[in-house]
Amino acid sequence: MRAAVATSQDHDNPLSGLVLQEVPDPEIPTGWARVRLVSASLNPHDVWTLRGVGHPAERIPMILGCDGAGYTDDGKPVIIYPVVADAARGMGDMTMDPQRSIISELYNGTFADYIVVPESSLVPKPEWLSFDEAAAMGIAWGTAYRMLFTRAGLQAGDRVLVQGASGGVASAAIALAKAAGATVYVTARDERKRQFALDLGADAAFEPGARLPDRVDIVVETVGEATWSHSLKSLRPGGTVVICGATSGPNANADLNRVFYQQLSIIGSTTCTLAEFYNCLRVMEESGARPVIDQSVSLENIHEGFTALIEGNNLGKIVVHISEEKS
């Protein structure tokens, strides 16, 4: 079968290790199922793997791709839940399992004709969601849902600041927070990205570091060093920063005096549980919120998609088309 494989790692030239090649069809262990992929989508995680960040060299080669949707061998359309974990090891929470992994970390990913995943990871694809949209939601929308509702406790009427508003998690957070009845402020580096956020439903968009009309209850933080100070300063006393990544760097000034004096909460979050994944789908169905697809590429042209992701000019998700939409 065809697969886009990380064959080596290079921090400065990540695409040098991305190779489209023929690999053997996967074997199907007991309790797992095979899926023929129709669509998959790119995530920054795929680039980090190629750069050698958070993915040890001994796990190379690896088929990349965390998100995907397709058909099981018996013709059922499914979305692939991207976390492989044991809830028992996580005290009832799959994301707390110390041995958890995301697809393409320990097990081959979705940039291939076929993938095998645990049977429990097969989520029926709703008819109202296209294969492209289904393939674009797993990591980004599941992460945003957990950040807002489980970790930060979002309530209707809350004020939310989303930093770096054109990214996958950030754009999902805008749509989900608006669906919950929040007032949403966003920051983005250029006018095009700020307009994108407004089109998604944000109430106001600002340049990074700008003073907001009022302080917020929750900050959705994915950027890290570049926005951290602004995130803390934008919170009301007792407010919450929930963070799932640090694309600009992880070593921000903690500003501990502000944290303790204003009684701020800083909460980490990563991916989502299977129950949260289903809850996210329910919110999407009820609100009409959907992932925005910026562009699509074929598996043969996957390097073009990676180039666009690395350049950072995409507004929404980049989807990889792998096969036809028929069982």
Query: Mind listing the pLDDT tens digit of every residue in the chain (327 residues)?
Result: 999 999 999 999 999 999 999 999 999 999 999 999 999 999 999 999 999 999 999 999 999 999 999 999 999 999 999 999 988 999 889 999 999 999 999 999 999 999 999 999 999 999 999 999 999 999 999 999 999 999 999 999 999 999 998 889 999 999 999 999 999 999 999 999 999 999 999 999 999 999 999 999 999 999 999 999 999 999 999 999 999 988 888 999 999 999 999 999 999 999 999 999 999 999 999 999 999 999 999 999 999 999 999 998 889 999 999 998 764
- Domain residues for the domain of 227 are 142-268
Query: What's the CA gap between 172 and 290, in Å, rounded?
Result: 8
47, 120: one domain: yes
- Give strand pairing partners of 33: 117
Closest-CA residue to 45 (of 275, 247, 200): 247
- Please count the structural domains in the chain: 2
Closest-CA residue to 9 (of 45, 61, 44): 61
46, 96: one domain: yes
Q: Is residue 176 part of a domain?
A: yes
250 token code pair: 């992880």
**What DSSP string describes 147-202?**
IIIIIS---TT-EEEESSTTSHHHHHHHHHHHHTT-EEEEE-SSHHHHHHHHHHT-
121, 146: one domain: no
- Give strand pairing partners of 116: 34
99, 209: one domain: no
149, 251: one domain: yes
264, 146: one domain: yes
307 token code pair: 């180039």
163, 113: one domain: no
Q: Is residue 326 part of a domain?
A: no
Q: Is residue 227 part of a domain?
A: yes
pTM of the model: 0.96
Decide if 265 contacts 216 (C-beta within 8 A). no
117, 8: one domain: yes
198, 146: one domain: yes
Q: Is residue 41 part of a domain?
A: yes
Q: Please report the pLDDT score of residue 244 as a whole number.
A: 95
119, 160: one domain: no
Query: What's the CA gap between 135 and 69, in Å, rounded?
Result: 5
Burial letters for 130-157: b for 16+ Cβ neighbours within 10 Å, e otherwise? Answer: bbbbbbbbbbbbbbbbbbbbbbbebeee
184, 258: one domain: yes
Decide if 147 contacts 173 (C-beta within 8 A). yes
10, 40: one domain: yes
Which CATH number covers residue 110?
Answer: 3.90.180.10
Q: Is residue 32 part of a domain?
A: yes
Q: Is residue 311 part of a domain?
A: yes
Q: Is residue 40 part of a domain?
A: yes
Query: What's the CA gap between 197 and 73, in Å, rounded?
Result: 39
Query: What's the CA gap between 31 and 236, in Å, rounded?
Result: 48
Q: Is residue 274 part of a domain?
A: no
